[in-house]
């Protein structure tokens, strides 16, 4: 199993709405993640900086890098574009993070 982490950024005043939308995440979006080999997916928030830290485990044959091609993912991005920093295509601005330590 591979590990992957990245960060994103919320806009000011959007913490509660972001939580609410993720509490009601669409089942078809969850299925799309699973179908692409993404599992054990968590997002953490630094409330001071509004930085989101995402961690996920990926299967060896995952297609996570192709998630952005899926209509359900594009719809989710559009739905959340008002809450976070996004690119022109509504995808979240994200920065991949480099693992420097891991302990099982």
Per the CB < 8 A criterion, the answer to whether 48 and 55 are in contact is no
CA 59 to chain centre: 17
Q: What is the per-residue burial (b if ≥16 Cβ within 10 Å, else e) of 81-104?
A: bebbebeeebbbebeeeeeeeeee
Whole-number Å distance between alpha carbons of 99 and 51: 18
22 is catalytic: yes
The active-site residue out of 22, 40, 49, 65 is 22
Q: Point out the residues that are catalytic.
A: 22
């Amino acid at each position: 199993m591979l590990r992957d982490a990245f960060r994103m950024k919320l806009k000011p005043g959007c913490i509660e709405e972001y939580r609410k939308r993720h509490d009601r995440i669409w089942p078809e979006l969850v299925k799309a993640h699973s179908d692409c080999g993404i599992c054990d997916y968590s997002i953490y928030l630094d409330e001071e900086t509004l930085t989101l830290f995402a961690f996920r485990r990926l299967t060896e044959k995952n297609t996570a890098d192709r998630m952005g091609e899926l209509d359900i993912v594009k719809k989710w991005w559009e739905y959340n574009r008002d809450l976070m920093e996004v690119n022109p295509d509504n995808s979240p601005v994200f920065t991949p993070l480099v693992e420097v330590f891991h302990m099982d």
